Amino acid sequence: MLDVVWTGEPDTEEIRRFLLAVREADGKPEDTGFAGGLHLLGRLEGELVAYAHLDTEGDSHGNQVAELFVHPSRRRSGHGRTLVKALVERAAGKPLRVWAHGDHPAAVHLAGTEGFRRARELLILHADVETADWPEPVTGEGITLRTFVPGQDEEAMVRVNARAFDWHPEQGALTADEVRATETEAWFDAGGFFLAERDGEVIGFHWTKVHEAVPGRFGGEPAGEVYVVGIDPDAQGGGLGKALTLAGLRYLRDRGLGQVILYVEGDNAPALAVYSKLGFTRYEVDVQYAR
């Protein structure tokens, strides 16, 4: 029988090794550690075979958000269901969301039998750089593009982000301090962070990212990412989003990357139409189930 224990201070190295084994089999998760919140450890004879992380602060809509994993060699034994029941009990009636990466049939079945409904789809789109047609970006009159300057542009970028993503459960809550913290990470590259200005005011941005090669993920090759594109609502409708996206895509192409990915909400029809015209096709889907 699975022995499950909640903790706020887990053995991070044990969890890292566990998640690396999961990633080797599934290509996910990208991160091998979850900060803060609560950690649910499921062990058999002392071995960590199942794990869940619960973000107790939750998203900007008041939902606690969880992710759970079962070791590849220990699946189809009911361990996932044990974790789900423990998460529901811990949530104590508060709104709970659980991610299912890849929308695996087993996750669909488990969600349905445990009273969860499909609440959100996050699509992963993919483009092959060699076959994509990405022309020079064209901006409207009086609008210029430049790259992000650390120590100068954090507040302006965050103001645009808050207005552009006031509807989004995670992105809209981004703070300037979080941007500054990201600037210290190895992947951060100001040269791939584009800002649009009009009359000296930032009105849009495109933040790109480069993923190192991960076995089982995107063919085991590095991938560029359209990380975030944000346009101030007052500047929307004039093609600025497309221009910023093209600036970032061409930058990633010039870095020698063979593929680019992006994440987009499944119900964002305007964005999906733009990305489709730029050569992106559906690659995967992550689903958030709600209870």
Q: What are the boundaries of each domain within the chain?
A: 3-115, 126-284
Give per-residue pLDDT as tens, 82-131: 999 999 999 988 899 999 988 888 899 999 999 999 999 999 999 999 99
Packing angle of the helix pair 105-113, 79-91 (nearest 10 deg): 50
Q: Quickly tell me which residue has 């092959």 as its tokens.
A: 128
Average pLDDT over residues 30-46: 91
Cα–Cα distances in angstroms (integers) from residue 196 to residues 11, 248, 275, in the given order: 44, 12, 19
Structure tokens at 253: 């192409």
Give the residue numbers of the binding site: 68-70, 170, 209, 225, 229-231, 236-242, 263
Check: CB of residue 26 under 8 Å from CB of residue 73.
Answer: no
Residues linked to residue 65 through DSSP beta bridges, in sequence order:
55, 97
Of 167, 151, 262, 245, residue with least CA distance to 205: 245
What does DSSP assign to residue 152? T
Residue 214, pLDDT above cutoff 80 = no
The reply to whether 3-115 and 126-284 are identical in fold is yes
Between 14-18, 41-45, 164-168, 187-191, the lowest mean confidence (pLDDT) is in 164-168
Portion of the chain with pLDDT greater than 70, in percent? 100
> Which of these, 91, 80, 39, 37, lies nearest to 291 by C-alpha position?
91
Topology annotation, domain 126-284: Aminopeptidase (3.40.630)
Per residue in 151-195, pLDDT tens? 999 999 999 999 999 888 778 789 999 999 999 999 999 999 999
Dihedral sign for Cα 192, 195, 196, 198, please.
negative
3-115, CATH topology level:
Aminopeptidase (3.40.630)
- Going by the annotation, the residues of the binding site for acetyl-CoA are 68-70, 229-231, 236-242
